[in-house]
Amino acid sequence: MKNRKGKTGFIAACVLPAVILFIIFMLIPTINVFKMSLYKWGGFSNTKTFVGLNNFKILFQDAKFYRSFQNSILLIVLVTIVTMGLSLLFAAILSREKIKGQNFFRIVFYIPNILSVVVISAIFSAIYDPNQGLMNSIISIFREEGKTPILWLGDQKLVIYSLMIAMVWQAIGYYMVMYMASMSSVPESLYESAGLEGAGRVYQFFHITLPLIWNNIRTTLTFFIISTINLSFLFVKALTGGKPDGASEVFLSYMYGQAYTNSSYGYGMAIGVIVFLFSFGLAGLINLATKREVLEF
């Protein structure tokens, strides 16, 4: 009896602090996002009025929201395709070929992933600097003298692609290391027998490597969408601030701007709800669409 009492106390002392902290700082704020989206809330003035789904109605007529929506989708699609393609390619090279200095390359490619998004943004804003940046100084070699410099972050059409390059730069190493881990578990004998039958490297990549790590790719795809939505927010906040004229605004930066800067908390949270539902819907959809029979080895 005494023992049992001690056990309950032990369990409670171990689990309760974590549970309480989780409830206060994660569960309640999450519930509040949904709750607040139903209110018109002018921030500090504390005038909360229940408006039901009105915030969402306004949202669907908000041109700026559509713009951030477009940008987000564009980034999700482009960053995913480019990063996935490149990181798969480099993972295959580093795990399939005998490369001198393999470790060196692996270490170097992972560096961007450990840097703060603010640091990367500062680096890229220097690279994109119209007058003294690396980009324009490289391009000026191929361009005629006296042309106006390219405004990488100041051009409405270019800015989103400039963001994309920074995001790909940041993410390649991370996904490469992950794919390398799953590629290393593919048995060597499969490649050997394929090689004996005369299959080339490219054929081997598409017919052995890809199908066998398909499950891993599926997981990363779902994960990719969610992390692109979050990372694009961090990059926009640090690199462009949505400039020029909202041309680089994405989902969450628009949400943050509406809630925090504009003090329309309810409206901001309605955006959050939509983004939340959208990202999980998309992840689920992709999960369904990429379903294949899992190949065993």
Partner 1 sequence: MGKTKIKNRLYKAFIYLLLVILAVIILVPVGWVFLASIKENSEFYGNPWMLPKGVYIQNFIDAFQEAKMGDYLLNSVLVTGMALLLLLIIALPAAYVLARYKFKGSKLCNIMFMGGLFINVNYIVVPIFLMFVNGDKWLKNLIGRGFFLNNMFVVALVYAATALPFTIYLLSGFFATIPKDYEEAAFVDGCGYWKTMLRVMMPMARPSIITVILFNFLSFWNEYIIAMTLLTGEEQTLPVGLMRLMQAQQAAANYGRLYAGLVIVMLPVLILYICVQKKLTEGMSLGGLKG
Residues numbered 150 to 189 that lie near partner 1 (CB under 8 A) are: 169, 172-174, 177-178, 181
Task: Build a one-symbol-per-residue string for 38-67: x at contacts with partner 1 by CB under 8 A, - elsewhere.
Answer: ------x-----------------------
Q: Which of 59, 256, 267, 270 binds partner 1 (CB under 8 A)?
A: 256
Nearest CA among 1, 83, 76 for reference residue 285: 76
- Which 8-state DSSP code applies to residue 47? -
d(CA 117, CA 188): 38
Q: Which is nearer to partner 1, 107 or 285 (CB)?
A: 107
At its nearest, how many Å lie between partner 1 and the CB of residue 126? 7
* Residue 67 · residue 249 · CB < 8 Å: yes
- Which 8-state DSSP code applies to residue 296? P
Q: Which is nearer to partner 1, 50 or 104 (CB)?
A: 104
d(CA 247, CA 64): 9
Q: Return the bridge partners of 48, or none.
A: 41
Q: Which of 234, 236, 247, 270 binds partner 1 (CB under 8 A)?
A: 234
Phi-psi region of 198 (alpha: psi -120 to 50; beta: other; left: phi over 0): left
DSSP strands (E only) in 96-139: none
Q: Which of 26, 53, 81, 295 binds partner 1 (CB under 8 A)?
A: 26
At its nearest, how many Å lie between partner 1 and the CB of residue 42? 12
Q: Which of 58, 62, 73, 125 binds partner 1 (CB under 8 A)?
A: 125
Residue numbers 201-220 binding partner 1 by CB under 8 A: 201, 219-220
* Phi, psi at 49, each rounded to 5°: -125, 135
- Could you say whether residue 76 binds partner 1 (CB under 8 A)? no
At its nearest, how many Å lie between partner 1 and the CB of residue 72? 13
d(CA 272, CA 23): 20
Residue numbers 260-289 binding partner 1 by CB under 8 A: 260, 265, 268-269, 272, 275-276, 280
